[in-house]
């Protein structure tokens, strides 16, 4: 594993091929046909305060480029639970050698149950790259509700998206995001939204 903060690890050729195949087979579940850029990965780490987190949940890790970026930034005792709905991606993720990471095949709608399955407590951060703009409204609302339910007071939810659909779906429950940023050095460019669960 590279030293903390080194985000130069890129997906393998096999991972890139799996990513393209996943996009072609499940275009409604995969936001892009190429993996995330290192600039996007850096912004995820910064926006989600990954360096301070003890437990991170990642929704929609793809073939693991964003997962690796977060692992590079996380402490030695931290844990990463990556929840992915595409079987081909989970196959790639499950071969990752870092014992801090657990790859789970399943839907983000069940994040609370999945945490219990692995005997994990409330996460400090939930990071989501799943495309809310391509899923049914009810599914998107359920995922947001589940994420909010599993977070403790002060917990962070970060969604990076091509469009602002997650804000429209989550406004009633989450309110307005405390942070909105853009990363243009990615294909496609991404918007970042961050919410923090109130302490009270």
For residue 168, give every residue at least 6 positions away whose Cβ sits within 8 Å of its Cβ, in sequence order, or none: none
The closest of 160, 132, 178 to 40, measured between CA atoms, is: 160
Q: With contact defined as beta carbons under 8 Å apart, do 125 and 59 qualify?
A: no
Q: Verify cis geometry, omega within 30 degrees of 0, for the bond prior to 188.
A: yes
E strand or H helix at 37: none
Contacts of 177-186 with CB under 8 Å at 24 or more apart are 179/47, 181/43, 181/47, 183/37, 183/39, 183/40, 183/43, 185/37, 185/39, 185/40, 186/36, 186/37, 186/39, 186/40
Nearest to 18 by CA among 128, 92, 101: 92
| pLDDT over threshold 90, residue 195 | yes
Give the pTM. Answer: 0.84
> For residue range 52-67, what is the model confidence (pLDDT) as tens digits?
999 999 999 999 999 9
CA angle 44, 45, 50 (to 5 degrees): 125
Measured CA to CA, the distance from residue 88 to residue 179 in angstroms comes to 33
What does DSSP assign to residue 134? Answer: G
How many CA atoms does the CB half-sphere of 56 hold within 13 Å? 33
Contacts of 169 (CB under 8 A, 6+ apart): 132, 137, 140, 141, 144
Task: Give the model confidence (pLDDT) of 130-170 as tens digits.
Answer: 999 999 999 999 999 999 999 999 999 999 999 999 999 99
Partner residues linked to 104 by β-bridges: 83
Q: Which of 64, 56, 52, 50 is CA-nearest to residue 22?
A: 64
Spatial separation of the C-alpha atoms in residues 66 and 18, rounded to whole Å: 15
Domains parsed from the chain with CATH numbers: 35-196 (3.40.50.150)
pLDDT in tens, 70-98: 999 999 999 999 999 999 999 999 999 99
Q: pLDDT tens digits for 3-25?
A: 333 333 344 444 444 444 444 45
């Amino acid at each position: 594993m590279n030293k903390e903060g080194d985000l130069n690890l890129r997906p393998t050729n096999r991972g890139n091929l799996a990513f393209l195949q996943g996009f072609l087979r499940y275009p409604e579940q995969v936001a892009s046909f190429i993996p995330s850029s290192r600039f996007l990965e850096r912004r995820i780490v910064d926006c989600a305060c990954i360096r301070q987190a003890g437990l991170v949940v990642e929704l929609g890790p793809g073939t693991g480029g964003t997962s690796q970026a977060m692992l590079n930034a996380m402490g030695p005792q931290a844990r990463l639970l990556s929840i992915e709905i595409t079987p081909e991606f989970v196959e790639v993720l499950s071969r990752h050698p870092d014992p801090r990471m657990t790859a789970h095949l399943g839907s983000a709608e069940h994040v609370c149950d999945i945490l219990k399955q692995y005997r994990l407590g409330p996460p400090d951060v939930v990071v989501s790259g799943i495309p809310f703009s391509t899923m049914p409204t009810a599914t998107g609302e359920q995922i947001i509700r589940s994420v909010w339910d599993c977070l403790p007071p002060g917990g962070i939810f970060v969604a990076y998206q091509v469009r602002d659909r997650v804000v429209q779906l989550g406004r009633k429950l989450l309110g307005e995001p405390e942070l909105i940023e853009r990363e243009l050095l990615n294909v496609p460019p991404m918007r970042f939204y961050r919410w923090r669960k109130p302490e009270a």
